[in-house]
């Protein structure tokens, strides 16, 4: 049997699979098929867009075309003609802005695959009851999926089997002619008794941990296949692991792999301890970020929505991470900083909620604490969550008129000020990789989790590393100029 995996990219609260990230879905599925002795190829939605929508011709444009940027550059016609089964991976549950990629909407995916003559299977987050949406605050895509012969949410689920599939699946990266950050899964489900009102993770998965040796073996295999950038990002809370487990996992990766980036993602602020933070700063690489699921600094909202931590606990977590992570590493970024996630549209939200958020964010500035980024999202209301039962989109609709203003105030008064402190004018960031052009400007960033976007006012070759000096600050990004060595050192 000839299988082809079509990666249309995934983004979930726990797990990113949008380039430059390669998610767990394509790797596990590839490994499962390969292990059974079948042939398997890997294509990306960018390959199909070029083939079907662009007539296989790349036009020169002033702005880099994100729709076809992440091609694998294979013969699409030949691969599709030889395909017996097409497995389509798709689904966005936490939509973000992607610098150099555009995930497929289900509408687009259906249009692309409907005339391909083979068995078609849809899997990934879009195949779950929660569907897919490319913009926050909007309802999921309601579209006829009869073009697919099967819809399988969990093509690969059992951790014992995944241990084997992940090893066979590592070679999938040979199809990607570009930088890859491998998203690694460490656990699924959530340890909280009462889930946060908006969250689907406890509905999707019961709490389960991967065997640490399976995790490190997978990283080693990917490393052998050429991957040097890793994020232990597919879990609801990395600090559910104990200190000894964290040390075992991270030290083994550092000892046995030749890597450039080792980052983590998703931390429950209530689980932050000095010991765990010290382990992360000891074994991970600089530029690391703890994405803290704070969601709101309004204690009423915390209570009503059963959120992770009170405002005081969140502040304590921010301070501990700063205490050990604020020191700068060799790439010019601090070792480990907190990232703050905020959600608009939760149950009970009022104008006071924004005032309380601002009060704590200003306190962070006043106490000279650093944060790497503030993610602000409009909540997506999913079926069967508490939020769905309590109020649905009532507060989203009620307060929508304020969101632009609230968000802008946070960007202007907090983000911009923090950026100026984090990377002041004259500060040097190393190994910043050029990714896209917009006119005569180039946008670049380092590899890893939540890297800072640097705008450079010249048209540089893409996919190259530069060292840059910061010259200005935007609301969420910076501008820089390339440091060129004096002629004698070139
Ligand atoms: S802590 Fe809350 S947001 Fe995180 S996985 Fe559990 S229920 Fe979901």
pLDDT grade for 485, boundaries at 50, 70 and 90: low
From residue 187, give the alpha-carbon distance in Å to each of 29, 120, 174, 404: 18, 29, 26, 35
What pLDDT is stored for residue 440 in this prediction?
96
Determine the structural domain holding residue 130 and report its residue range: 2-152
What pLDDT is stored for residue 309 in this prediction?
93
> How does pLDDT run across 324-350, given as a tens digit for each residue?
999 999 999 999 999 999 999 999 999
Residues 401 and 451 in one domain: no
Residues 416 and 434 in one domain: no
What pLDDT is stored for residue 487 in this prediction?
46
> How does pLDDT run across 94-111, given as a tens digit for each residue?
778 899 999 999 999 999
Residues 412 and 440 in one domain: no
Residues 248 and 326 in one domain: yes
Residues 410 and 476 in one domain: no
Report if residue 121 sits inside a domain.
yes
Confirm or reject: Cβ of 293 under 6 Å from ligand 1. yes
What pLDDT is stored for residue 43 in this prediction?
98
For residue 191, the tally of other CB atoms under 10 A from its CB is: 12
Please state the rounded mean pLDDT for residues 355-373: 98
Kindly give the distance from the C-alpha atom of residue 245 to the centroid of ligand 1, in angstroms, as a whole number. Answer: 21
Residues 6+ apart with CB under 8 A from 310: 299, 302
From residue 238, give the alpha-carbon distance in Å to each of 421, 428, 429: 28, 30, 27
Residues 107 and 198 in one domain: no
Q: Which atom of ligand 1 is nearest to the CA of 189?
A: 5
What pLDDT is stored for residue 78 in this prediction?
97
Here the CATH number for the domain that contains residue 456 is: 2.40.50.140
What pLDDT is stored for residue 204 in this prediction?
85
Residues 247 and 382 in one domain: yes
Mutate to test the pocket of ligand 1, among 187, 239, 293 (most ligand atoms within 8 A of CB): 293
> How does pLDDT run across 100-139, given as a tens digit for each residue?
999 999 999 999 999 999 999 999 999 987 777 666 656 6
Residues 436 and 450 in one domain: yes
Report if residue 174 sits inside a domain.
no
pLDDT grade for 14, boundaries at 50, 70 and 90: confident
Mutate to test the pocket of ligand 1, among 188, 189, 201 (most ligand atoms within 8 A of CB): 201
Q: What's the gap between Cα 125 and its chain centre?
A: 14
Closest CA to 377 of 265, 477, 294: 294
- Least confident window among 54-63, 131-140, 186-195: 131-140
Q: Which atom of ligand 1 is nearest to the CA of 195?
A: 7
Kindly give the distance from the C-alpha atom of residue 220 to the centroid of ligand 1, in angstroms, as a whole number. Answer: 29
Here the CATH number for the domain that contains residue 116 is: 3.40.50
Residues 6+ apart with CB under 8 A from 73: 47, 177
CA angle centred on 13, ends 345 and 11, rounded to 5°: 110
Residues 11 and 101 in one domain: yes
Place of tokens 């990789």: 433
Q: For residue 243, is pLDDT > 70?
A: yes
From residue 424, give the alpha-carbon distance in Å to each of 6, 318, 333, 479: 42, 21, 11, 11
Secondary element (H or E) of residue 303: helix 299-304
Please state the rounded mean pLDDT for residues 30-37: 96
Confirm or reject: Cβ of 380 under 6 Å from ligand 1. no
Residues 418 and 475 in one domain: no
State both tokens at 390: 């309590």
Report if residue 236 sits inside a domain.
no
Residues 418 and 434 in one domain: no
Specify the pTM: 0.95
Q: Do the Cβ atoms of 302 and 271 come closer than 8 Å?
A: no
Confirm or reject: Cβ of 294 under 6 Å from ligand 1. no
Structurally, the chain folds into a number of domains equal to 3
Q: Do the Cβ atoms of 153 and 39 come closer than 8 Å?
A: no
Mutate to test the pocket of ligand 1, among 13, 189, 199, 266 (most ligand atoms within 8 A of CB): 199
Closest CA to 134 of 89, 95, 88, 91: 95
Query: What rounded mean pLDDT belongs to the chain?
Result: 95
Kindly give the distance from the C-alpha atom of residue 170 to the centroid of ligand 1, in angstroms, as a whole number. Answer: 29
pLDDT grade for 308, boundaries at 50, 70 and 90: confident
Q: For residue 489, is pLDDT > 50?
A: no
């Amino acid at each position: 049997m000839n299988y082809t995996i079509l990666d249309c990219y995934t983004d979930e609260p726990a797990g990113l699979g949008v380039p430059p990230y390669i998610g767990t879905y394509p790797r596990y599925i590839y490994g499962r098929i390969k292990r059974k002795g079948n042939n398997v190829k890997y294509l990306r939605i960018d390959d199909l867009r070029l083939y079907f929508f662009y007539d296989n011709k790349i036009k020169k444009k002033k702005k880099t075309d994100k729709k076809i940027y992440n091609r694998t550059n294979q013969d699409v016609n030949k691969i599709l003609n030889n395909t017996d089964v097409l497995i389509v991976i798709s689904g966005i549950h936490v939509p973000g802005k992607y610098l150099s990629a555009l995930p497929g909407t289900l509408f687009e995916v259906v249009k692309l695959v409907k005339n391909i003559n083979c068995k078609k299977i849809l899997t990934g987050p879009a195949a779950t009851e929660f569907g897919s949406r490319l913009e926050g605050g909007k309802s999921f895509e309601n579209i006829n999926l009869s073009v697919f012969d099967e819809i399988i949410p969990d093509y690969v689920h059992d951790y014992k089997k995944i241990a084997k599939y992940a090893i066979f699946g590592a070679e999938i990266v040979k199809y990607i002619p570009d930088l890859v950050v491998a998203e690694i899964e460490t656990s699924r489900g959530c340890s909280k008794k009462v889930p946060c009102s908006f969250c689907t993770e406890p509905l999707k998965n019961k709490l389960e941990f991967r065997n640490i040796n399976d995790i490190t073996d997978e990283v080693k295999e990917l490393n052998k296949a050429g991957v040097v950038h890793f994020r232990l990002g597919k879990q609801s809370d990395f600090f559910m692991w104990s200190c000894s487990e964290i040390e075992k996992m991270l030290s083994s990766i550092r000892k046995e792999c030749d890597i450039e980036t080792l980052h983590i993602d998703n931390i429950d602020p209530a689980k932050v301890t000095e010991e765990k933070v010290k382990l992360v700063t000891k074994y991970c690489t600089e530029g690391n970020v703890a994405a803290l699921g704070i969601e709101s600094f309004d204690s009423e909202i915390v209570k009503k929505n059963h959120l992770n931590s009170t405002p005081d606990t969140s502040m304590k977590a921010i301070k501990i991470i700063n205490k050990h992570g604020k020191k700068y590493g060799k790439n010019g970024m601090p070792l480990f900083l907190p990232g703050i996630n905020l959600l608009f549209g939760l149950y009970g939200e009022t104008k006071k909620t924004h005032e309380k958020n601002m009060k704590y964010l200003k306190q962070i500035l006043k106490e000279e604490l650093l944060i790497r980024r503030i993610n602000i999202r409009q909540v997506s209301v999913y079926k069967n969550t508490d939020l769905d039962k309590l109020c649905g989109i009532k507060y989203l609709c009620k307060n929508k008129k304020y969101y632009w203003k609230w968000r802008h105030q946070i960007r202007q008064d907090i983000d911009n000020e923090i950026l100026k402190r984090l990377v002041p004018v004259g500060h040097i960031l190393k190994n910043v990789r050029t990714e896209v052009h917009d006119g005569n400007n180039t946008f670049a960033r380092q590899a890893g989790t939540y890297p800072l976007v640097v705008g450079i006012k010249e048209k540089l070759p893409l996919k190259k590393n530069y060292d840059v000096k910061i010259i200005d600050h935007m609301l969420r990004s910076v501008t820089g100029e390339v440091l060129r060595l004096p002629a004698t050192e070139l």
